[in-house]
Chain A
Amino acid sequence: MMKKYISIFLKFLFFINIIYIILAAVVFRRLDIRLSFVRLEIGVLIISIILSFATYIMKLEKGNSVVNVILGYIIIIPSLFVIRNNFGTYLFRSAWLIYILMIVVGIIYGVVLYVLNKRYKEEVNHLNKLLDEKKKEE
């Protein structure tokens, strides 16, 4: 279990680091402000832990799958507040922007789930078709 979680965590750590570097570069270019490296890295670590935990819960084989998916989304939300805490008004000019971002993240989450589900359903249909053909042969 830990091995799987750490593997997901390391992947998120890599991508969130890249996203943070880009955001910090944008803030520096536009506002000429250097953000604290330590503070940003702590933010990256916290967000990676949150996102990898959300992914782990969503993919969990135990429990109700719909509940796991909803829980996965709820767990992601605090990471937006971490980003706001790290970049403050440099990125989030208005307070309501964070709520817009929550909705956007929710839409992206839903779209990704829909696309993945469609692919998995096709795979399952193919397997069921193969099973039916095998039974007919017997």
Chain B
Amino acid sequence: MKIRVEENEQLDEIEVIIRGQIDDEDVKEIYKSLLYFESVILGKINDKTFSLSLNQIYYFESVDNKTFAYDKNRVYDVSLKLYQLESELSNTPFIRVNKSMIVNTRRLKSFKSTINGRMEATLINGEKIKISRSYVPLLKEKLGGKQ
């Protein structure tokens, strides 16, 4: 793979061109990674709207029919439902891990299992989230393992 950066002071925003065969797995992975950095979600705190980059979000959680996005320090109200987010974020590192949460796999630190079969994941900020067993096969696939 050749990586080249062309400096162009006339451009207002970054333009990325991926050259390669469209069926190539590496090309698809690079495209997904760029999508992850490029996409934004709108979140609200006290009627103030913020443009959230997917890269800064740790996880989404649905509580009482409302969806919230959590970054390192703050919690944002998101207008989309969890199933809508799941669909939109299918080509990103985000994955559903239980009935009410979608987590950013790039913010995962480790996994742990308890004596009664419960599984939980620790995020890089120390927060713990529950992983439902039914979502483990998809989680493995997302992390690059086979189902």
Contact = CB atoms under 8 A, between A and B. Distances in A.
Given A61-B130, A133-B144, A134-B144, A127 B115 contact: no
Contacts of B119: 120, 123-124
Interface string B42-71: 000000000000000000000000000000
Interface residues of B, number: 21
A38 interface: no
Contacts of B112: 124
Contacts of B140: 126-127, 130
**Central interface residue in B109, B111, B116, by most chain A CB within 10 Å:** B116
Contacts of A131: 105, 108-111, 143
Interface in B98-147: 105-106, 108-119, 130, 136, 139-140, 143-145
Contacts of A127: 111, 136, 139-140, 143, 145
A128 B115 contact: no
Contacts of A68: 116
Given A124-B112, A127-B139, A131-B111, A65 B145 contact: no
Nearest to B108: A131
B144 A120 contact: no
B111 A120 contact: no
Nearest to B112: A124
A69 B116 contact: yes
A39 interface: no
A58 interface: yes
Contact of A61 (B106, B115, B118, B139): B118
A117 interface: yes
Contacts of B144: 130, 133-134
B114 to A, nearest CB: 4
Contacts of A69: 115-116
A124 B114 CA distance: 10
Interface in A48-101: 58-61, 65-66, 68-69, 72
A123 B133 CA distance: 10
Interface string A91-123: 000000000000000000000010011001101
Contacts of B118: 59, 61, 65
Nearest to A65: B114
Contact of A117 (B106, B108, B117, B143): B117
6 contacts: A65-B116, A120-B117, A120-B119, A127-B136, A130-B144, A134-B143
Interface of B: 105-106, 108-119, 130, 136, 139-140, 143-145
